[in-house]
């Protein structure tokens, strides 16, 4: 077989495979865009999809943890304080889409209890609420008013552990 013909056949196969991959990638990105429609964030609608072995296994969108007041109700803390995008993530009631997708993929902790030496900060509190942790035992306090507020809104029981 002529080298030029063989080269063209190989290039054609590579291009077909590339088009299939691009179509698959495009489909997963479309799923992420659909997930973003669930977002309750006032600043940016974000969606994420986790794909393993060619299958979508989890998704997430940015928004307040389950059972907590939505930013649509409370207003956006970051907007009120003029916080630029990409800075001070702890000043937000929402969980990122990627975080929610990871949490949904690990539902084995739903209903579990957490023992921690220190009261959780707001970033950890949001993740624990979303993951379905039922009770948090802590020993040392931690000054984080937003964490206190969000845990109080949620169904998570919080207990200060003392000997």
Q: Is 98 a catalytic residue?
A: yes
Annotated catalytic residue, options 98, 107, 140, 153: 98
**Closest by CA position to 151, among listed 162, 138, 161:** 138
Active site residues: 98
């Amino acid at each position: 077989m002529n080298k030029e013909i063989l080269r063209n056949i190989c290039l054609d196969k590579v291009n077909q495979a590339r088009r299939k991959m691009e179509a698959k990638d495009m489909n997963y990105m479309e799923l992420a865009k659909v997930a973003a429609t669930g977002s309750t964030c006032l600043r940016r609608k974000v969606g994420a999809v986790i794909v393993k072995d060619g299958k979508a296994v989890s998704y997430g969108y940015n928004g307040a943890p389950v059972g907590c007041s939505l930013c649509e109700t409370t207003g956006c803390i970051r907007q009120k304080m003029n916080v630029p995008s990409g800075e001070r993530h702890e000043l937000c009631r929402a969980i990122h889409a990627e975080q929610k997708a990871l949490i949904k993929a690990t539902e084995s902790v739903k209903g579990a209890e957490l023992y921690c030496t220190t009261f959780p900060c707001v970033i950890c509190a949001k993740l624990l609420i979303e993951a379905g942790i039922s009770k948090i035992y802590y020993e040392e306090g931690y000054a984080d008013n937003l964490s206190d507020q969000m845990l109080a809104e949620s169904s998570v029981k919080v207990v200060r552990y003392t000997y």
